[in-house]
Amino acid sequence: LPPLPAAVEVAAYRIVQEALTNVTRHARAGACSVRLTCCKGQPLTVEITDDGVGPPERSLGGVGLHSMRERAAELGGTYEISPASPSGTRVLARLPIGTSVNTDVPKADPYA
């Protein structure tokens, strides 16, 4: 992957972290995969899939699902959760890399 803006790195990390927490707590999965893809001029795609029981029908989601949606939206991105085929859950987030929003987090001065 190319170097990413700090805000995109943090959002991707937290989305993966929350999705993996949900897999551990709820999915009863035997396997889980995390895939990050980034092509020039395209958003960073974060995809987490498992082979567990799948998302509950008509679930509004808890705090974790809401926070993943918010993290993507803050950067102008998208987030979706859907059943995986043939079983399980798929979380997909697309996070824009180059936006008009300032996504750079200032670096801390180690000497301050």
Residue 87 confidence (pLDDT) above 90: yes
pLDDT > 50? residue 42? yes
**Helix, strand, coil shares of the chain as percentages rounded to 5?**
30, 25, 45
Instruction: Identify the pLDDT of residue 19.
Output: 97
Give the pLDDT of residue 58.
60
Q: What is the pLDDT of residues 63-86, one digit of tens each?
A: 888 999 999 999 999 999 999 999
Domains defined for the chain, CATH in brackets: 6-95 (3.30.565.10)
pTM above 0.85, yes or no: no
Closest CA to 14 of 76, 86, 63, 85: 63
Kindly report, residue by residue over 7-23, the tens digit of the pLDDT: 999 999 999 999 999 99
